[in-house]
Chains A and B, each alone.
Chain A
């Protein structure tokens, strides 16, 4: 299985801050990388595919990048509704594994 490792596991930030979450794959996955946002008690929400393409309706303050083994999710100016947990997922090879998550908390 391809292992996905996110860092940091948790992050404290303030509204208006710029934050970046990283995701590393145990082997090259080209750009077959998705990002999801999950709020407590809710199902995940699909944000980004192909490492950098925003799903329809996702605010432009979200951006993604990377290829091969190293990827990132950046939120340019945090809004209150962005405080949540974020997961990366590789879809290069089954099983389509997820990272362990990064919890973004209000400072």
Chain B
């Protein structure tokens, strides 16, 4: 069973770049059909989709974060990463990595986040 282990600093200074990594075990980031996602959750709030990278290298980002976000995959480390630049206090949140899988029903393909990392509390403060 695939497991995702997050790593990265829990404290980032304003205007700096937030960098988080998610190491995959029990599976490969190069496996066809999967995508590698980041989601965040502001304190006491709901889930916010940040974006994902497909196994093929295509990326999709939230329009509200697109100018500051980058998701990348490193097959040599079996890992994928999030970089969010020019952070402010509004970026303080718990960040989750997740694997997106493809599920078939009635002849059609559906996407869902089926495995998640443990979450990383990131605080933006000087």
Contacts and interface: CB of A to CB of B under 8 A. Distances in A.
Interface residues of A, number: 25
B103 A49 contact: yes
A98 interface: yes
A38 B41 CA distance: 11
A73 to B, nearest CB: 14
Interface in B81-119: 96, 98, 103, 105-106, 108, 110-114, 116-119
Given A1-B63, A95-B62, A95-B63, A46 B114 contact: yes
A50 B103 contact: yes
Interface stretch (B11-19, B24-32, B43-51, B72-80): B43-51
Interface string A2-22: 000000000000000000000
Given A43-B117, A55-B112, A96 B105 contact: no
Contacts, number: 68
A87 B118 CA distance: 18
Interface residues of B, number: 25
B27 to A, nearest CB: 15
A49 B105 contact: yes
B106 A95 contact: no
Nearest to A9: B46
A91 B110 contact: yes
Given A95-B49, A98-B49, 19 more contacts: A32-B111, A34-B110, A42-B119, A43-B96, A45-B116, A46-B113, A49-B103, A53-B103, A53-B110, A55-B103, A55-B112, A87-B46, A91-B112, A94-B60, A95-B63, A97-B49, A98-B46, A98-B47, A98-B48
Interface of A: 1, 32, 34, 36, 38, 42-46, 49-50, 53, 55, 87, 89, 91, 94-101
Interface of B: 45-49, 51, 60-63, 96, 98, 103, 105-106, 108, 110-114, 116-119
